[in-house]
Structure 1
Amino acid sequence: MPIESAVVLAAGEGMRLRPLTKYRPKPMLPVTNVPILEHVFDALVASGISEIHVVVGYKRDRVQEYFGFEYDGVPLTYHVQEQQLGSGHAVLQAQPGVDGPFLVVNGDQLTSPEIVDAVVEAHAAGEQLGTISVVESELASRYGAVSLDGDTVTDLVEKPGEGHHRLLNAGVYAFEPAIFDRIASTPAEDGERSLTTALTSAIETGSTLTGVRTEGLWRDATYPWDLLSLSAEMLDRSDEEVTIDPSATVADGAIVRAPVVVGPDAVVAPGAVVGPYTTVGRNASIGCNAVVEHTIVDEDTRIGPNATLVDSVTGRGVDIAAGVTIEGGDGDVRIGDRIHEEVELGAVVADRTELGGGVSVEPGTIVGAEASVATGVVLDGVVEDGVEVVR
């Protein structure tokens, strides 16, 4: 029986991406001016999927209002995971809408149609309970490792953290409906039902899982600076080096250095330099003589005249005044209780934050949502949500 439906897991917040996920879930963060989730839908539609079930939870209205009930002619059905109790629990929420073999795809990771196609074809060729996408990556120890004997999965380790694992679980699966009973019958651990735990239990009790190796695109954003890598990857893969929406305005005298995407109703003023590896979101503006490189400028954000932004990510509705300097380069970044050393990040400036004229921002700075920074301040470290910083 051919696979026609997919379950997309899009209920998570993405805590390590805070403050960017304060007002929207991780799958709705932008990569080349569209949500990560939209790239996932594109891959599924390109592979011939005709029905998509979306499991939503944290800030679910952001997903539902953006996409509605259809994407590119494919119906979208939403299933609510009221509490985020693990990936297996998320899959179970879609059970009432699924009939026959189906895909499961993470909605917060970039994946390509090549990976989806490979999983669909491998699953159709056998009689196994499930089929798992596998890519070779040095990141296997960070995300999830797979052990294979030929094309048979012998072990799955979720976020092993150490060891010399090379085969990574790329988060695209095909399953028979029997997987629902397997997940439901696998005991929860610490209150959560993990899909990996259920699959490990299936292997141990004699069920067959097939691993299909593929060289297709797989990318994840764990931390805010990872969004810059995802954006660069997609810009490099684009057929167009420079994409300027017809409704955007790029003034004579502005310089656009490929690769760049300029979104609808955006404005780039005279003398501004935009790019390379930069995206300018809907209704954003880049002021006269501003320099914006290797940066994600989200929608409704204003970059003032003579400002400089390098290696940075803004949220929505950010106001960066004239002469602000975010030079970029390597810095130490604090996320929660952990310090990440020598990260190539200018700054993260979250939703609806204001940086006053002449503010200077040291590499690795995180500025929370709805913060306000007075003229001439030098910023370093972490500025929490809603904080007012004065000289």
Structure 2
Amino acid sequence: MTPKQKRGTASHKDVVEQDDRLQAVVLTDSFETRFMPLSAVKPRCLLPLANIPLIEYTLEFLAKADVKEVYLVCSSHADQINEYIENSKWNLPWSPFKVSTIISPESRSVGDVMRDIDNRGVINGDFVLISGDVISNVQFDKMLDFHKKTHAKDKDHILTMCLSKAIQHYKTRSIEPATFILDKSNSRCIYYENIDKPHSKIKSALSIDPELLEDVKEFSLRNDLIDCRIDICSAQVPPLFQDNFDYQTLREDFVKGVVSSDLLKKGVYAYITDEYGSRVDSWQAYDEISQDFLGRWVYPVVLEANPLEENTYSYESPHIYKEKDVVLAESCKIGKCTAIGSGTKIGEGTFIQDCVIGKNCSIGKNIKISNSYIWDNTVIGDHSVITHSIVASDVELGSKVILNDGCVIGFDVKIDSGMILPQGSRISSSPIETDVPSVFEESLSADSNSSGEEKASFAVNKKNRDIIAIELVGPNGIGYVYESDYSDDDDDSSISNHVSNTLVHHVEELYLSDDSIRSTSARTKKKRTMSSGSMYTDREDYETEFEDEEDFEKEGIATVERAIENNHDLDTAMLELNTLRMSMNVTYHEVRTVTIKSILRRINHFIFTQTLGAKEAVSKVFSQWSALFKRQCFDPEDYIDLINIVMEEIMKIDFDKPNLILFASLNSLYENDILEESSIYSWWDTISEDPSYSNVVSLTSKWVEWLKTADEESSEEDDDE
């Protein structure tokens, strides 16, 4: 249910009481695709970590923080989240807080959520802003006390960030590296900057305006802090997002923009703690935080606390957690840092270590499972080997199946006996073609009347992927290969992007000194203990993996397609694109490319669905959106580059009449005053004799000739006059 804004008058006492009720806004959507293909079926916040949905850790944290009102902002899979909350203990009369679900389907970023929150008017005072995938044992009352004392000294203070010191045992330090420059006297944030991830092999450097350091006697540059993504915000924060539409992310846009602004003059402060706090925002983070949790780094947040009523976990050394009704064969061996859910049966000779096994799983004989996560209701056949992988719920693996490092097996997948899956394989039970769906794909998924033939005909390289899937899951298996957009890129940086968000070990990619603003130090193990109340940990060394870097093409296409689909005004679309360009430091050529790709996809959608004819589709889309190029082209070379991009992208798409599409596109750009004759003639002189373009420029050649003839006739008429 969506909370309604209270209207009418109230006494001063009522207002004070309402303001004293601490509120929280929970971001249930990550606005990312890092957990595909699993997040295509279930939202990230409902995925299990140690057999408990991620959202439970966040809500338990808020309950201990004495929050009284919680707003869950839902975008993707909102119906599943709403249903989960309605059937949970948080919806009962004795819940420690009132929880409300805000459905925000149009939100595509944290900035969109903040603007939606501001429009609804639900925030009455200071509030906690937190992600729905945070695991933390931070004592919130100390952070709140710091926030209040800081605000009493600085009336312009609007936000307090929770940052955790990254000691050498915390591998989560490498998950999302950033640099904070803080005033030593009061921990005010002077500057913020994301830094390059280790696999980029780039040494980071900061460029800061000296004016920001004025009136600062002494500052510290901190690159050893983990961003817990727990913030206390004043009521001024949502309106600031409203006033600055280009603020999309919380740190890189909002915090960096606020602390660097001479006009806003607002204060952002850092609360630094030794306690544990981190987001499960990548496969690497999922793996590391799961092991931290089992290794009792988050004490007193431990599994045997049984936050769900149906949980019955007990603890025994060395960090083994078992529920009731677990059936273990006499000769099976359960190693350290392992949790096993109720109803699970494990056969003779099976070895399991550093794993989480879900409820009601059937694990056969002589199986080896290490550093892996097996979710509920999974069946694993005899003599199988699973290494550093995730197997989602309701999966069936035959006998002698081998899952190598980094495999992610989606819900309801079935793999035949004897199959060997290579490192980093991702399998889903149904086709998921791209990380960022096109406008047409979104419309098909939304339209329940769309035929299977329509959906199948638009799939990219579906036939090839089916063949690969059969090779991996077997002729009687059920599964499709999931490939993100990175797999289509050829450059080295894209390849490193692709592997950075996996469970795979990549020792050669580690940076072993602080030259890269991080280090991977040798760990000092602490002594094991038999006490279930122990705070001591026992973590094994794992090689570090790294997150995805941002991909401009993917983000840019999503931005333009969203603008087209939602019929945004041109100024808004231009602002979003330009903000993305500056934040990712790309050229205008790349901006022109993603814009053309998005426009051509929309044209192809109209043609494919027989909504419009080819010429009409081109005219409609270009007439509305060609003005974007006025902010992307600045000299004759840019316009020639634009024409080349149009031609090349048309050739990549399987249009029935590419020559007609090219002619209509260039003619539309010409009629909308984007292209001038001189640019068209210059471009034509460079490609007219190239035989590789003969099939696509046949109509365009006649059009160029007509333009030249008309131009000559116009010149003669001017001379006669």
TM-score range, shorter chain: 0.7 to 0.9
Mapped partners of 2:116, 2:183: distance in 1:
32
Conservation of the 8 A alpha-carbon contact between 2:21 and 2:68: no
> Aligned to 1:325, which of 385, 397, 415?
385
- Does the C-alpha gap of structure 1 residues 173 and 129 become closer, same or farther in structure 2, counting only changes over 3 Å? same
Counterpart amino acid of residue 163 in structure 1 = S
Residue 696 of structure 2 corresponds to: none
If asked which structure has higher relative contact order (CA below 8 Å, sep 6+), I would say 1
1:235 aligns with 2:294: yes
Counterpart amino acid of residue 365 in structure 2 = P
Counterpart amino acid of residue 118 in structure 1 = K
Tell me the CA shift for residue 87 of structure 1: 1.4
Residue 350 of structure 1 corresponds to: 392
> Aligned to 1:148, which of 182, 186, 189?
182
Residue 655 of structure 2 corresponds to: none
Mapped partners of 2:302, 2:334: distance in 1:
13
> Aligned to 2:204, which of 158, 163, 167?
163
Mapped partners of 2:375, 2:51: distance in 1:
12
Residue 98 of structure 2 corresponds to: 75
1:49 aligns with 2:85: no
Counterpart amino acid of residue 173 in structure 1 = D
Residue 173 of structure 2 corresponds to: 139
1:385 aligns with 2:428: yes
Residue 310 of structure 1 corresponds to: 370
Residue 86 of structure 1 corresponds to: 109
- Does the C-alpha gap of structure 1 residues 2 and 118 become closer, same or farther in structure 2, counting only changes over 3 Å? farther
Tell me the CA shift for residue 309 of structure 1: 0.9
Residue 26 of structure 1 corresponds to: 44
> Aligned to 2:249, which of 194, 209, 213?
194
Tell me the CA shift for residue 148 of structure 1: 1.0
Conservation of the 8 A alpha-carbon contact between 1:132 and 1:173: yes
> Which consecutive unaligned segments of at least 5 residues does structure 1 have?
251-255, 329-344
SS of the residue corresponding to residue 122 of structure 1 reads helix
Mapped partners of 1:294, 1:283: distance in 2:
20
Tell me the CA shift for residue 146 of structure 1: 2.6
Tell me the CA shift for residue 302 of structure 1: 2.5
Counterpart amino acid of residue 133 in structure 1 = C
- Whose Rg is larger? 2
SS of the residue corresponding to residue 290 of structure 2 reads helix
SS of the residue corresponding to residue 18 of structure 1 reads coil
Mapped partners of 1:242, 1:174: distance in 2:
27
Mapped partners of 1:224, 1:140: distance in 2:
13
Conservation of the 8 A alpha-carbon contact between 1:228 and 1:294: no
Residue 39 of structure 1 corresponds to: 57
Residue 418 of structure 2 corresponds to: 376
Residue 268 of structure 2 corresponds to: 209
Mapped partners of 2:35, 2:224: distance in 1:
25
Greater shift in the superposed pair: 56-65 or 37-46: 56-65
- Cα-to-partner distance string for 1:66-89 (whole Å, 9 max, x where unaligned): 332537432211112314421122
SS of the residue corresponding to residue 246 of structure 2 reads coil
Conservation of the 8 A alpha-carbon contact between 1:281 and 1:297: yes
- Cα-to-partner distance string for 1:288-341 (whole Å, 9 max, x where unaligned): 442221112234432223322111122343221122122x3xxxxxxxxxxxxx
Mapped partners of 1:7, 1:87: distance in 2:
11
1:174 aligns with 2:195: no
Pick the structure with more helix per residue. 2
Mapped partners of 1:248, 1:166: distance in 2:
36
> Aligned to 1:220, which of 272, 276, 279?
279
Tell me the CA shift for residue 230 of structure 1: 1.6
Counterpart amino acid of residue 240 in structure 2 = R
Tell me the CA shift for residue 182 of structure 1: 0.2
Counterpart amino acid of residue 130 in structure 1 = L
Residue 10 of structure 1 corresponds to: 28
Counterpart amino acid of residue 60 in structure 2 = D
- Cα-to-partner distance string for 1:200-223 (whole Å, 9 max, x where unaligned): 333212111221111111123343
1:107 aligns with 2:132: yes
Greater shift in the superposed pair: 358-367 or 265-274: 265-274
Mapped partners of 1:224, 1:294: distance in 2:
16
Tell me the CA shift for residue 11 of structure 1: 1.6
- Cα-to-partner distance string for 1:7-39 (whole Å, 9 max, x where unaligned): 111122652233333322222222232122211
Q: What RMSD over aligned residues (CA atoms) do the two structures have, in Å?
A: 3.3
Tell me the CA shift for residue 377 of structure 1: 2.2
- TM-score, L = length of structure 2: 0.46
Tell me the CA shift for residue 184 of structure 1: 0.7
Mapped partners of 1:122, 1:81: distance in 2:
32
> Aligned to 2:122, which of 88, 94, 97?
97
Conservation of the 8 A alpha-carbon contact between 1:134 and 1:146: no
Residue 259 of structure 1 corresponds to: 319
Conservation of the 8 A alpha-carbon contact between 1:12 and 1:58: no
Residue 275 of structure 1 corresponds to: 335
SS of the residue corresponding to residue 201 of structure 1 reads helix
Tell me the CA shift for residue 269 of structure 1: 4.3
Mapped partners of 2:232, 2:321: distance in 1:
34
- TM-score, L = length of structure 1: 0.81
Counterpart amino acid of residue 97 in structure 1 = V
- Does the C-alpha gap of structure 1 residues 160 and 135 become closer, same or farther in structure 2, counting only changes over 3 Å? farther
Tell me the CA shift for residue 51 of structure 1: 1.8
Mapped partners of 2:133, 2:301: distance in 1:
24
Counterpart amino acid of residue 384 in structure 1 = I
- Does the C-alpha gap of structure 1 residues 293 and 207 become closer, same or farther in structure 2, counting only changes over 3 Å? same
Residue 120 of structure 1 corresponds to: 144
- Does the C-alpha gap of structure 1 residues 67 and 195 become closer, same or farther in structure 2, counting only changes over 3 Å? same
Residue 690 of structure 2 corresponds to: none
**Identity score, percent:** 17
Mapped partners of 2:310, 2:108: distance in 1:
43
Counterpart amino acid of residue 254 in structure 2 = A
> Which consecutive unaligned segments of at least 5 residues does structure 2 have?
1-18, 167-171, 198-202, 206-222, 430-468, 476-721
